[in-house]
Structure 1
């Protein structure tokens, strides 16, 4: 690093002593995104704090120069260079990257020459910032903001650089910083270092109290307020890099570097534990009123959420809507979520399209379930339809499989404030609708063993009965030695079956089975007679009728029966809807 850059850093450190007392003021948005979960307010506050802190540092540097040296012309020159740097970045560099994006065909890969050019610009950032007398951290921050997020450029940069940076460089950098910390400095630190540490701790405490007091003032729950306050004081790799840069250039002493690095490590270790204890996103659904098809009246509006990943999911959602018998007397309200993977976007956003009845929400994949569950709560939905994470070709071979979709489905099953259905599409794509063109009855069957999930499946069947041109069969697998259940769950099953048997528009089949293999053998023989099978999830339910099938279950999230009938061994020319009734958890 050249002399002008070192002098610039020294001036900035002096300015920090005046304006922000040097230590923990700047937050790392990436670290906040990891810790925040649903507290997105803190993420916005972290970004604003980041910008304001950097601006205060620069302004403090200029004020210090004017006060000490009276170098007004020099300050004016630096202000002009800083403005010129920002203008060049956003009026030259960013439009240039947008031009690269426009030159890329829609859905195609960006030219490697463009990617290499952008990477070279970032590698030249230290030299560029020194020319414009901009602090290197601030320069890199502004350049990063100028990169268009998402595909094709942002996603390509993430794909090419993230494994190398996050998997190799960051761990190595953190390790080398730890190796450079000498504990002996803690015993013989000078007065300046002690003063800075005291200032850092005071700043940390004040920031914590302010971050705690403001949410409490606006009636935020106490536990959430404490969680937000802890999040706002956390530090990460950005601060470690800043202190390492200052230490390498001799701006701060070894004892000060050691103390501040230890503070960062302690905060990064302790804060996530406190946040996890104080804030549980799933608790927001506790005590939520009963929202399921079973508890919905036939003559009231049924509110549903349909999730779509690929265009092929659209027909399946439409088919489910058709068999749900929407009429003027029994209306159906549907909110459709088109979930698209956007690489290169780390910050969750929520954008409302005011001219259309649409909403765009951007979240990290591991937090997407929160947006879906929140929408279900806001819209008072009773049912969420999710596509299965695996699709098949006509010949039964696997067409696509996405582990991220599977994780999303599992998270929603565990946390949803209403009932959930996972739709496994049939392997034979020619079966596109459950309504035949010649008005012949279509084959829809409900496989019933018992329990609340199976009752939810029957509740959906009751709505199908409102549409008499749809053929419906109930297959009741009954244990051979079953003498009748006297518990409340069993009585609810019998009452539901009695209501269904009274309808003359359904076909009721009762089949006695002794164990899992007998159930599998029977269902294998009859499953291909239908176009849609509706089954209950029945997760973790021990039953003699499924005994012996657990070890063959590949996907526990769709239950033993759902996994069995959706496997390619059964032929798979039909679709399967696995239903789970709303889980009312008590803490």
Structure 2
């Protein structure tokens, strides 16, 4: 045996205590099997590897047995709860009190040293993968609502926790250890972990929903807030203990971050460039990345930081998505989440001894009260700003519950606090049982409040052209099915008039039907690797569009290969992820030169209808007749008003969105815009909703009426008195041939005098009455059409758009 006495003052897993650790030398790892001692086969458990395998088998078997029975309840209880319960069963609460079981499975001389080390390795690997999947830019690109929710979700419970700590339950003559313990509990209870929330959203299948994106963005902001507060509390103590050492550690971590950003991250992009388009990353590069992750963990540990922190930071430096980030997640996530993470949760909860709750009733009472207060404070601190931001009541409640969720990170924090002897055993029991209760109830309540099927892409934030700030970039998602779509889309994009103050960011999504394989594929195209790929033609065309606009346009290309019934999920998910204001969809018909239908694809029509119903932003469906949209490509910049656009305005939010887009287009000197306002000429019945709509219509028309030449370039405004639908149809047919492009609002299901009587004859009802008329085969015209629908909002009783 080899003994080692830790020097006094060293801080390890046992704080400042002097401990003696005895290990067998040389270490006994592999056994010769059960035949080593036939009379006593259990001798193999004196070796660390067979013992570890037995402990892993027990944890795995009991966890999945519990989860099997809990699933029968149909409540959707997450696997984390089953893992904690399994740890409680293996611990002193149940099987840990059986001497024979404890002697065989968890012998006192070996304790949990090996399985603990394996579990921490698994947790570090888990956080590394979470860092790989995390988009840090989301924290800086979030709206005011997400930032406010993120900050308040940490500050409100932290402040109320301190009030409980020092105000309501403050006791005199408390020892420094108790004071430190209570502050640590307050910090732990106030945490908002993005890793935990991401796992919860994934398990609830709402990770790509609008609610999921808002929760993730808020969690990232909350995580950053907690890190800042923690550093503000811990740094002065480190400076007081040893200023030179503290400065050296801080400098080392700053250097570490600089190397991550300016050396390691560019190296990752080099790996991506070395990977052929559509091919997996080579295994040698995967191994290099994993070795670098372990190296970063060791570096952080050497400079007085948790190795887990180093692995997580390195994960953030790895570019998310395909090909590298996706390859790492695909290769290791199942193993880490299914096996290694299970060990970490089990070993953390196996040390819970409920009998300790009776040893210190005062601390148990304080921990329980603090847990309830911080939970309610975090819930209210999230609910109020979300509800005040006009989110529906149920969604606000669901978001508040999501932000209060506890999981693997809080379990790790509690375990670390116990290891360093900052908290006592009784407090540790309360924290773990609280995490168990929270992780069981929160998913059930969120499922009750939020329907992921009907509300997945429900909009809370304004992602449309009308509410776009004048100096903001216009983000457009252009969808491509076939080569003929490319020229039409680029022709239309040329009319959107990007400027230095408001440039265009175009995301091109090539949609392909999944054939010959089971798994959908999503490809991110790199501009340096286009040549020779099967997607070369359409990407090169958009690249040329980007170059022709001299820095006013940024283009990113993607390909989604999926079943036709799932394509709308790809479109809506990308629109939500990229925060686009407009989705451009091609029409399902291809026209021949004589104006007849050449081909018709009902699958594309079904896809367009699905996107219209579920999209998280505004939509434009482009009907290109006789390549009319491509005429803009050939217009000379020196000539003005040679591409004519007409916007037919009746009223409503879709028409207001269409007019806003048309006004943006009119800033191009090569384009002339005519706005034709269909007015009924009759006084309608007084109604609050109608009066409000008319006021909004007048507001968006005001600058067109007052200044027909000015900020928006050349605009002609006309009013046509229309008394019924047939008269509107006649006017549309008479004017349509005079323009290259006609823009209309969808106005689906909106009744008005100007369109009365036309809906009964509709061929394409999803386009609205005027859109259907312009898309009809009976209209012998070569004019292209854009049908615009403004973003839908959730549970808005009065549309104030």
TM bracket, shorter-chain basis: 0.5 to 0.7
1:472/1:435 Cα in 2 relative to 1: closer, same or farther (>3 Å)? Answer: farther
Deviation at 1:215, TM superposition (A): 9.0
Give, in whole Å, the separation in 1 of the partners of 2:604 and 2:664. Answer: 29
Matches within 5 A, 1:415-494: 415-426=614-625, 428-429=626-627, 432-434=630-632, 437=635, 439=639, 440-482=641-683, 487-494=691-698
- Count of residue pairs the alignment pairs up: 345
**Distance in 2 of aligned mates of 1:372 and 1:417:** 10
Q: C-alpha separation between the residues in 1 aligned to 2:564 and 2:682?
A: 47
Q: Shift in Å at residue 396 of structure 1?
A: 2.4
Match of residue 550, structure 1, among 747, 752, 759: 759
- Asked if structure 2 preserves the Cα contact closer than 8 Å seen for 1:436 and 1:442, the reply is no
Q: Which residue of 1 aligns with 2:79?
A: 213
- Indicate if the aligned counterparts of 2:728 and 2:754 stay in contact, CA closer than 8 A: yes
Among 475, 481, 484, which residue is 1:312 paired with?
484
Q: CA deviation at 1:414?
A: 1.0
**Does the 8 A contact of 2:746 with 2:767 survive in 1?**
yes
Offset, 1:291 = 0.6
Measure how far apart 1:278 and its partner are. 7.3
User: Aligned partners of 1:472 and 1:522: how far apart in 2?
Assistant: 18
Contact 1:305 1:376 (C-alpha < 8 Å) held by counterparts: yes
Q: CA deviation at 1:201?
A: 9.3
Residue by residue, what CA displacement relative to the aligned partner does 1:60-119 show, whole Å, maximum 9, x if unpaired?
A: xxxxxxxxxxxxxxxxxxxxxxxxxxxxxxxxxxxxxxxxxxxxxxxxxxxxxxxxxxxx
Partner Cα separation in structure 1 for residue 719 and residue 642 of structure 2:
21
Q: Distance in 2 between matches of 1:383 and 1:527?
A: 25
| In 2, Cα distance between equivalents of 1:455 and 1:211 | 46
Q: Which residue of 1 aligns with 2:785?
A: 576
Spell out the pairing of 1:37-186 with structure 2 (5 A cutoff): none
- Do the aligned partners of residues 537 and 276 (structure 1) sit closer, same or farther apart at CA in structure 2, a change above 3 Å counting? farther
Which among 708, 730, 738 is matched to residue 503 of structure 1? 708
- Name the Cα RMSD after superposition: 3.4
1:411 alignment partner, one of 610, 614, 619? 610
How much has 1:353 moved relative to structure 2? 5.4
CA contact (8 A) 2:507 2:557 kept: no
Residue 294 (str. 1) matches residue 466 (str. 2): yes
**Aligned equivalents of 1:508, 1:341: Cα separation in 2:** 44
Give 1:529's match in structure 2, choosing from 731, 738, 741. Answer: 738
Residues 466, 660 of structure 2: 8 Å contact kept: yes
Contact 1:425 / 1:576 at 8 angstroms: preserved in 2? yes
Match of 1:327 in 2: 499
Check whether the contact 2:597–2:777 (CA below 8 A) recurs between aligned residues: no
- Aligned equivalent of 1:388: 587
Are residues 208 and 310 of structure 1, via their aligned partners in 2, closer, same or farther at CA, if it must alter by over 3 Å? same
Partner of 1:399: 598
In structure 2, the CA distance between the partners of 1:224 and 1:424, relative to structure 1 (3 Å rule), is: same
* TM-score computed with the length of structure 2 as normaliser: 0.40
2: CA distance, partners of 1:345 / 1:213: 30
Aligned to 1:8: none
Post-superposition CA distance 1:282-304 (Å, at most 9, x none): 42433531010101123321110
- What secondary structure is seen at the aligned counterpart in 2 of 1:542? coil
Contact 2:512 2:559 in 1 (8 A): no
Query: 2:775 touches 2:785 (CA, 8 Å); kept in 1?
Result: yes
Q: Deviations over 1:487-513 (max 9, x none)?
A: 211101011111112222211111001
Deviations 1:152-196, CA, capped at 9 Å, x for gaps: xxxxxxxxxxxxxxxxxxxxxxxxxxxxxxxxxxxxxxxxxxxxx
Q: Which residue matches 2:722? A: 513
- Tell me if the contact between 2:589 and 2:599 (Cα under 8 Å) persists in the aligned partners: yes
1:281 deviates by 3.8
Is contact 1:212–1:226 with CA below 8 Å preserved after alignment? no
Q: Which runs of structure 2 are paired with 1:205-244 in the superposition (5 Å)?
A: 205=69, 212-214=78-80, 218-219=196-197, 225=203
Judge conservation of contact 2:514–2:562 (CA < 8 Å) in 1.
no
Q: CA deviation at 1:364?
A: 2.1
**1:444–1:352: structure 2 CA closer, same or farther, 3 Å change rule?**
closer
Counterpart among 557, 561, 565 of residue 366 in structure 1: 565
Corresponding residue of 2:508: 336
- What SS does the corresponding residue of 2:682 show, helix, strand or coil? coil
Is the partner of 2:630 in helix, strand or coil? coil
- Equivalent in the alignment of 1:149: none
- Distance in 1 (alpha carbons) for counterparts of 2:732 and 2:460: 37
Q: Equivalents in 1 of 2:673, 2:582: separation in Å?
A: 21
Which structure 2 residues correspond to residues 552-567 of structure 1 after superposition, within 5 A?
A: 552-567=761-776
Distance change (3 Å), C-alpha of 1:526 and 1:555 = same
Counterpart Cα distance in 1 of 2:659 and 2:677: 11
CA, structure 1 residues 490+212, in 2 after alignment: closer, same or farther (shift >3 Å)?
same
Gaps of 5+ in 1: 1-199, 229-274
The answer to whether the Cα contact below 8 Å between 1:347 and 1:364 also exists between their aligned partners in 2 is: no
Alignment TM-score, normalising by the size of structure 1:
0.54
Q: CA deviation at 1:226?
A: 6.3
Residue 540 of structure 1 and its aligned partner are, at CA, apart by 0.2
Task: State the distance in 2 between where 1:320 and 1:583 align.
Answer: 24
Query: Partners of 1:509 and 1:517 in 2: how far apart?
Result: 19
- Deviation larger for 311-320 or 345-354: 345-354
Answer with 350-359 or 568-577: which moved more: 350-359
After superposition, the Cα gap between the structure-2 partners of 1:529 and 1:280, relative to the gap in structure 1 and judged at 3 Å, is same
Secondary structure class of the residue paired with 2:656: helix
Query: 1:369 deviation in Å?
Result: 1.0
- The corresponding residue for 1:379 is 578
Query: SS of the counterpart of 1:421?
Result: strand
- C-alpha distance in structure 1 between counterparts of 2:778 and 2:80, whole Å: 59
Tell me, in whole angstroms, the C-alpha distance in 1 between the residues paired with 2:566 and 2:575: 15
| Inter-partner Cα distance in structure 2 for 1:508 and 1:430 | 23
TM superposition shift of 1:305 = 0.5
Q: Shift in Å at residue 277 of structure 1? A: 10
For residues 205 and 619 of structure 2, the distance between their equivalents in structure 1, rounded to whole angstroms, comes to: 30
Cα pair 1:227 1:278 within 8 Å, conserved: no
Change in CA separation of 1:363 and 1:562 when aligned onto 2, cut-off 3 Å? same
Q: Is the contact between residue 348 and residue 362 of structure 1 (CA under 8 Å) also seen in structure 2?
A: yes
